[in-house]
Structure 1
Amino acid sequence: MTLTTSVQTGARLRRGRRVSAAPRWLLILVEVAVPVLLIALWWIVSAGSTNTFFPPLSAIVSRLGELLTTPAFLGDIGLSVLNLVLSFLIATVVGVLLGCALGLIAPLSWFVEPTIHFFRAIPPVALVPIFVSLLGFGNGTRILSISLAALFPILISTIDGVRAGEPTLQMVGKVYRLTRAERLFQVTLPAASPRILSGMQVSLITAFVVMIASEMLGSSAGLGAATLLAQQSFAIADMWAGIIVLGVLGYLSTALFVLFRRAVLRWYIASQQLEKSE
């Protein structure tokens, strides 16, 4: 009976994959085609432009190629990526740990949650001037401001995910006499992982926006600072080149995280496809 059920489940899952394959390929095609069409349209429309603030795309691409050979521009890109990754990791570790504590310990959440909801209501970019005023313009200040802005989506999603855990799973954990640590890592966190990773994706976007803002505010290093300096120096081609690189970095960071999320939640995605195919 178990073998028959397993075969039937595998067949349903394969049918679900075949049904969803065409729309997925269509989405991938559209995702690739739309940017290509927009770039082609930009190239054509700007080809004969004489506007100082809207140079031809060919001139921007040429200037971008020159900048990518300079150590200063590559250093700005590297610093921005480093700040983003480090801040995101800090926000993830703190958010998941604190979220688990608040989700599992009700009295603690009663005291702390009003403060959390107060600070998360403040626009993340508005926190940057406060940290700069208190701590100065150092790179540590930028990392702290980015981490704090990215913390709240992960924290809230972790709290909700832990609280929404299946009571049946918790009962099974107790029946098998799992310790609290084993129930946390083997039952609670896996069940909450879809919500946690969704919060992390929102957090990554927030961290990217605050990273740019923190570099533009009183900093001389980083891609955001380089782009702002180019605008203030009327180096318009350099400004557009910086904007393009920022867009590419934002897209790549999101795309990489989506791949990571799919790999971690492969079991969850498979179960959802199985439910749809039934």
Structure 2
Amino acid sequence: MKRLALRLLFVVALPALLVAAWWLVSADSTEVYWPPLRTILTTFPDVWTGERLRADVLPSVLRLLAGYAAAAVVGVALGTVIGSYRRVRAVCEPVLEFLRAVPPPVLVPVIMLFAGIGDTMKIAVIASGCVWPVLLNTVEGVRAVDPVMAETARSYGITGVARLRNVVLRSASPQIFAGLRQALSIGIILMVISEMFAASNGLGFTIVQFQRGFAIPDMWTGILVLGLLGFALSVVFHLVERRVLAWYHGLRTASRRSS
């Protein structure tokens, strides 16, 4: 119990310190674009009502989850194939390096030409950026599978789907989750950027509308919502990761204790 309380203290301490510093620094601010934190917090409940949450936050979250899920499926599938076969990797690597170097926001106008300006475009933009960390980490994770373990599985007749699920993906799962964690933060950024182009709802659209209407405290509340959303998604991801990789974290804990 004491250990849990100490961990919670460490988690809460830095955010509380930053909020306190923001409050003190901005307390006497008279600048239009830098309102006091108390003004922003007072404005928050008036702006983000239940209706606005349904109209703007929910669509953004659904687009993010759709793009993120598509990137996860494509990234893990392609990464497994590329990481498993040396010739495939040799052929695909130059193309992958070229595509990875193209910033996803630059692709927004191109994707709009093919996908229009609806939700499909926004999901495609999110997926196009999220897929790379998942793909590249999956490739490296599959390549790093212990050859002794792979040979042992082959000796026991574990092949096909069983080998893929129980040996390859299980061994690569820590690196796959590392890529998924990176992709989550990229997805939030691209969610906002995609909604700034020809959108009629969403967090990115709303924040831009506040900025154009010089509703500066309202704009800052939108930024706070983005931060809270990112934090909530990070917590959920951490819980899922701890559950799926419980065996891995158990091995690491046992290894540290034995050493």
Which residue of structure 1 lines up, in the alignment, with residue 192 of structure 2? Answer: 212
Match 1:185 to one of 161, 165, 178? 165
- CA distance in 1: counterparts of 2:149 and 2:124, whole angstroms: 37
* Deviation by residue 1:36-68 (Cα, 9 ceiling, x = unmatched): 122122223323332221222222112210122
- CA distance in 1: counterparts of 2:58 and 2:194, whole angstroms: 15
- CA distance in 1: counterparts of 2:175 and 2:198, whole angstroms: 36
Q: What does 1:111-150 align with in structure 2 at a 5 Å threshold?
A: 111-150=91-130
Q: What does 1:96-107 align with in structure 2 at a 5 Å threshold?
A: 96-107=76-87
Q: What does 1:148-167 align with in structure 2 at a 5 Å threshold?
A: 148-167=128-147
Which residue of structure 2 lines up, in the alignment, with residue 228 of structure 1? Answer: 208
* Deviation by residue 1:176-219 (Cα, 9 ceiling, x = unmatched): 11231110011111011001000110111111111111111232
User: Which has the larger displacement, 173-182 or 190-199?
Assistant: 173-182
Which residue of structure 2 lines up, in the alignment, with residue 248 of structure 1? Answer: 228
Counterpart code for 2:250: A
The Cα shift of 1:23 comes to: 8.3
Which segments of 5 or more consecutive residues in structure 1 lack a partner in the other structure? Answer: 1-20
TM-score if structure 2 supplies the norm length? 0.93
| Aligned residues of 1:67 and 1:73 also touching (Cα < 8 A) | no
- CA distance in 2: counterparts of 1:212 and 1:72, whole angstroms: 16
* Deviation by residue 1:84-125 (Cα, 9 ceiling, x = unmatched): 111111111111111111112222222222111111112222
- CA distance in 2: counterparts of 1:271 and 1:24, whole angstroms: 21
Counterpart code for 1:31: V
- Confirm or deny that 1:48 pairs with 2:28: yes
The Cα shift of 1:256 comes to: 1.5
Which residue of structure 1 lines up, in the alignment, with residue 52 of structure 2? Answer: 72
- CA distance in 1: counterparts of 2:65 and 2:81, whole angstroms: 24
Counterpart code for 1:232: R
SS at match of 1:158: helix
Which residue of structure 2 lines up, in the alignment, with residue 265 of structure 1? Answer: 245
Q: Decide whether aligned partners of structure 1 residues 51 and 218 sit closer, same or farther in structure 2, where only a CA change above 3 A counts.
A: same
Counterpart code for 2:148: T
The Cα shift of 1:226 comes to: 0.3
- CA distance in 1: counterparts of 2:107 and 2:185, whole angstroms: 16
Number of equivalent positions: 258
The Cα shift of 1:22 comes to: 8.4
Which residue of structure 1 lines up, in the alignment, with residue 73 of structure 2? Answer: 93
RMSD: 1.9
- CA distance in 1: counterparts of 2:42 and 2:25, whole angstroms: 17
Identity of aligned residues (%): 37
Which residue of structure 1 lines up, in the alignment, with residue 38 of structure 2? Answer: 58
- CA distance in 1: counterparts of 2:118 and 2:54, whole angstroms: 20
User: Which has the larger displacement, 207-216 or 106-115?
Assistant: 106-115
Which residue of structure 2 lines up, in the alignment, with residue 13 of structure 1? Answer: none
SS at match of 2:205: helix
The Cα shift of 1:258 comes to: 1.6
User: Which has the larger displacement, 22-31 or 161-170?
Assistant: 22-31
- CA distance in 2: counterparts of 1:152 and 1:128, whole angstroms: 16
- CA distance in 2: counterparts of 1:144 and 1:51, whole angstroms: 39
TM-score if structure 1 supplies the norm length? 0.87
SS at match of 1:51: coil
| Aligned residues of 1:201 and 1:257 also touching (Cα < 8 A) | yes
- CA distance in 2: counterparts of 1:229 and 1:250, whole angstroms: 21
SS at match of 1:52: coil
User: Which is bigger in relative contact order (C-alpha 8 A, separation at least 6)?
Assistant: 1
Which residue of structure 1 lines up, in the alignment, with residue 255 of structure 2? Answer: 275
User: Which has the larger displacement, 224-233 or 250-259?
Assistant: 250-259
